[in-house]
């Protein structure tokens, strides 16, 4: 049998672990943001939010470094749509300052669509942070997808951490 290899982009967020600076409602934990249900309404059990605080953040531990091609963020569409405006997507291997010092991929600017995709040009890192700098801020997220390389070989899929 001849083995062939090909690279595909997969959402590695689904196998990660999420945490955030605070939790507004314990029935909406940070893990809801990576549950694979891209719904922009809070009542869908797909969203999470922090308390109003200084510099709120949400972090994904992908459990290993990846070359991140893009990050898709889904914000709430039923209320609070501007509360994510100005948030920074950061990617890296450090948890210093809760990971908010890692290199920046993008700054979120809201538009009419709750679905936003940011090209991260294969930035490498273990952690994805969404960090909202400023005082008296609340961070709302409804889904985060992180697309990185996966190596497909002989019908088996393994996530590649070295590409």
pLDDT in tens, 101-111: 999 999 999 98
Residue-wise pLDDT tens digits, 122-154: 999 999 999 999 999 999 999 999 999 865 544
Residues in Cβ contact with 104 at an 8 Å cutoff, skipping those fewer than 6 apart: 88, 89, 90
All structural domains of the chain = 16-145 (2.60.120.260)
**Per-residue pLDDT tens digits for 58-79:** 999 999 999 999 999 999 888 8
- Residues 78, 42 contacting (CB under 8 angstroms): yes
């Amino acid at each position: 049998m001849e083995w062939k290899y090909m690279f595909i982009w997969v959402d590695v967020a689904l196998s990660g672990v999420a945490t955030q600076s605070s939790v507004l409602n314990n029935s909406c934990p940070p893990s809801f943001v990576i549950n694979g249900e891209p719904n922009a309404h809070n009542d869908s059990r797909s969203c999470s939010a922090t308390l109003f605080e200084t510099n709120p953040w949400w972090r994904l531990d992908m459990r290993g470094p990846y070359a991140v091609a893009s990050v898709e963020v889904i914000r709430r569409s039923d209320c609070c749509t501007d509360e994510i405006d100005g948030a920074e997507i950061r990617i890296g291997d450090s948890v210093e300052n809760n990971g908010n010092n890692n290199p920046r991929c993008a700054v979120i600017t809201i538009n009419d669509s709750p679905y936003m995709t940011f090209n991260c040009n294969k930035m490498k890192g273990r952690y994805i942070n969404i960090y909202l700098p400023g005082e008296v801020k609340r961070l709302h997220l409804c889904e985060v997808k992180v697309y990185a390389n996966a190596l497909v070989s002989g019908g088996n899929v393994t996530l590649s951490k070295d590409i």
